[in-house]
Structure 1
Amino acid sequence: MQKLKRGYLFDYKKQTWKVTDIYKIKWDDGSQTTEYQVKNKKGEVRYLMLEFVRKQKTSFTFWEKIADINQFLKTISKTEADFVSIGSAKFPKQFQYKNVTYTFDERCDGTCHYDYETERVNSLDYTNDDDSKFFAIQLWDDEIEISTGISILKSQISNIQERTTFISSDSVWDFISKYFVGIIFTLFMLMTFLLNKCSSNSWDGNRDPNDSTKVYRNSNNYYRGRSSRGFGK
């Protein structure tokens, strides 16, 4: 599959999605995840996740965040089951959500890289019986995010298009590095032109430093009168 970048479009389940942000997570177990935040024409936000594990095929999943976190937490707090914890927060090892039974699979800790920023993330991962549906409870530096996901095929991502009107920081730096010499030369010529233009409009360089009353401007001589009458030629 062609590498996705900010501004790219692709089709999934008869809808067109636009990549609006990219997050890369390096997990402590050595695996890596690239998370593409995407948006469709209705303004709905989802997440396409690619997981890279050494000596394994890349897995593709599609995620949706749960908006009403408080309601979900109230629901699972009534569940009688063994708990798994992240810090002081405790969550059941098994629960039901939208008629799907999720069972705790593993805890993953890692570091998320976004542009020049980094943030630690702790994730509790759950799956259903056949590993086709997923549930993640993630604790970031200052908030909890809860999402549901499904396993998808690579072939379901199609018609990838580059949006030439979208300017990303990556493309800007690529342009600068590729044409660095030309950019420097152009800036040098521009500065030379501006300096020459300023010099041609400057005062006459033959000014007598001992004459404090005389000002030369574009070859026209003006004399500052010592009386209250001001300037006179």
Structure 2
Amino acid sequence: MGFLDIFKKKNQEEQIHYDPTNIKIIDIRKGWLFDYEGKTWEVVEEFEYDWGDNIFTYEYKIQSGADTAYMFIEESEKVYCTFTNKIKFAKLGEEVEQHLLDYQKPPSQITYEGITFYRERESPGYFRSLEDEDSIEVILWEYFDDSETKILLIHQWDEGDFEASVGIVEEENVITNILPR
């Protein structure tokens, strides 16, 4: 490899994937910082969901001090950010787990902390950390409240391995001061 090859390789590695004069939420990567709800958050992990038919969505583990949350970004006509916190699956109640085991899907509605959530969508796909080549199968069930701003998610990783999280759906303009590292 000659000098010019090294220089060419270095330039290719330094190419950026975003417009530095117009950074958007969809440009976010691990290590980046942004402001949300009066706090500065750092992206500490990146995850990819592959839903088939060349449809991908991304989730980010974010931290602000001792607080940890997950930010899921979805692009359709608009860009939406979903901020969730994991909860103990058992908090959804015995009947939810029993329904999953009996019917291979959760009930059509779930009440959690006084809010009724309605099942909107079931999405089978593959999940992986962007630091890992290997994917694992996942089924994601999305539930929304009447206002469609509160969300409850159930992930099924294996036959009896379930995970739940609750949160809020926001438009992208709630994220400010996005800074790459």
Q: TM-score category by the smaller chain?
A: 0.7 to 0.9
Q: Which residue of structure 1 lines up, in the alignment, with residue 72 of structure 2?
A: 49
Q: Which residue of structure 2 lines up, in the alignment, with residue 64 of structure 1?
A: 85
| C-alpha separation in 1, matches of 2:101 and 2:155 | 9
Structure 1 regions of 5+ residues with no counterpart?
164-233
Query: Which deviations, in whole Å up to 9, do the C-alpha atoms of 1:52-96 show, x marking residues without a partner?
Result: 34xx32222111111x22233326469xxxx5x478645221121
Normalising by structure 1, report the TM-score: 0.59
Contact 1:86–1:139 (8 Å) recurs in 2: no
Structure 2 regions of 5+ residues with no counterpart?
1-23
Q: Which residue of structure 1 lines up, in the alignment, with residue 107 of structure 2?
A: 92
Normalising by structure 2, report the TM-score: 0.74
Change (3 A) 1:86 1:161: farther
Contact 1:31–1:51 (8 Å) recurs in 2: no
Q: Which residue of structure 2 lines up, in the alignment, with residue 153 of structure 1?
A: 171
The two structures, once aligned, show a CA RMSD in angstroms of: 2.4
Q: Which residue of structure 1 lines up, in the alignment, with residue 48 of structure 2?
A: 24
| C-alpha separation in 2, matches of 1:72 and 1:101 | 11
Say how many residue pairs are matched: 154
Deviation at 1:29, TM superposition (A): 6.1
Question: Helix, strand or coil for the counterpart of 2:155?
Answer: strand
Q: Give 2:72's aligned amino acid.
A: M
| C-alpha separation in 1, matches of 2:102 and 2:43 | 33
Q: Which residue of structure 1 lines up, in the alignment, with residue 122 of structure 2?
A: 107
Change (3 A) 1:77 1:27: closer
Q: Which has the higher strand share?
A: 2
Question: Quick one: which of 139, 148, 155 aligns to 1:131?
Answer: 148
Between structure 1 and structure 2, the one with the greater Rg is 1
Q: Which residue of structure 2 lines up, in the alignment, with residue 211 of structure 1?
A: none
Deviation at 1:140, TM superposition (A): 1.3
- The farther-off stretch of 6-15 and 108-117 is 108-117
| C-alpha separation in 2, matches of 1:76 and 1:110 | 22
* Equivalent residues in 2 for 1:195-206, closer than 5 Å: none
Percent identical residues: 27
Change (3 A) 1:131 1:29: farther
* Runs of 4 or more consecutive aligned structure 1 residues displaced over 6 Å after TM superposition: none
- The farther-off stretch of 56-65 and 12-21 is 56-65
Query: Which deviations, in whole Å up to 9, do the C-alpha atoms of 1:180-228 show, x marking residues without a partner?
Result: xxxxxxxxxxxxxxxxxxxxxxxxxxxxxxxxxxxxxxxxxxxxxxxxx
Q: Give 1:57's aligned amino acid.
A: K
Change (3 A) 1:162 1:102: same
Q: Give 1:139's aligned amino acid.
A: Q
